[in-house]
Amino acid sequence: MNGLSPRLSVFIAEDEAPARARLVETLRRVAPHAEVAGWAASVLDAADWLAHHPPPDLLLLDIQLADGLSLELFADAGIASPVVFTTAHDEFVLQAFRAQAIDYLLKPIQDDALAAAIAKHARLARHFAGSDALLGLRARLAAPQRLRVVGRKGAHFVALPIEQVAYFVTADKLGFAVATDGTRCLLDTPLAELEAGLDPARFFRVNRQYLVSAPAIVRFGPAGKGRLALALAPRADGEVVVSQERAAAFREWLAQ
């Protein structure tokens, strides 16, 4: 640890091992006081790590991971750590800065660029240290706002109250809200965006396809290899499985 700088805990999400090794090496060069607290190669693994460890001081996230975009992590209002995104493309700049990004680095990452991002983090940390106003603002921004979803049934649009939604599901690249009476409506809003405005005590993202409400879960049981199989009401068209990585978080959520 650098005697002049406080320890900086960093979490890294990068699905390519050589790129991850280079990033760690660069981080150690430009910020000797930084410590890699953990890493992941997928969105689900990153979500699982963040759910079961103290928040790191900084997230270094490759936007495009093995199973999707790391931007999906910020649908969970509980993730409050500042983030520096890394990517080979600049097409996600706007979304990145909506997801509490303090910087956006293009690959290959240069020493001076990462050093500047670390310095920016340090300045912001000093500026906002102990700020009750910032904490209050973050709490207000994180509060669920969505009361209903708007979808299509045939040629008509309907507004479905959230308490009448059993679960959301994607199929063939289309998103649907399934109501408690079994009817469904087609959605224009991606699941990740919907999730960001929902009450996390009521809804849980069990996998990339299903976002379920607690009242819709009839029962669950082992599905092999540490996974869980869910029975939903109304009945889902296919098997609904919670991955081994998400199983512990799911049990904890359901027991609230």
Residue ranges of the alpha helices (H) in 81-223? 93-98, 111-128, 132-142, 191-196
Whole-model pTM over 0.75: no
Q: For residue 88, what are its two tokens?
A: 């080979």
Q: Work out whether strand 83-87 and strand 101-106 pair parallel, antiparallel, or are unpaired.
A: parallel
Query: For the chain, what are the domain ranges?
Result: 8-142, 148-254
Question: What tokens appear for 102 in the block?
Answer: 């303090």
Q: Tens digit of pLDDT for each residue in 146-168?
A: 889 999 998 899 999 999 999 99
For the structural domain made of 8-142, what CATH number should be given? 3.40.50.2300
Q: Note every long-range contact of 3-9, with CB atoms under 8 Å and residues 24 or more positions apart, other chains counting.
A: 5/31, 5/33, 5/122, 6/33, 7/33, 7/34, 7/35, 8/33, 8/34, 8/35, 8/57, 8/58, 8/118, 8/121, 9/34, 9/35, 9/37, 9/56, 9/57, 9/58
pLDDT band at 95 (very low <50, low <70, confident <90, very high): low
User: How large is the average pLDDT for residues 210-215?
Assistant: 95
Residue 78 binned pLDDT confidence (cut-offs 50, 70, 90): low
Q: What is the pLDDT of residue 128?
A: 55
Assigned architecture for domain 148-254: Beta Barrel (2.40)
Q: What is the largest CA-CA distance in the chain?
A: 66
How confident is the model at residue 132, as a pLDDT?
Answer: 47
Most confident stretch, 30-34, 84-88, 245-249: 30-34
Q: Do domains 8-142 and 148-254 have the same CATH topology?
A: no
Q: How far apart are CA 85 and CA 67, in angstroms?
A: 17
- In one letter, which amino acid is 242? V
Residues 224-249 have pLDDT tens digits of 888 999 999 999 998 999 988 888 88
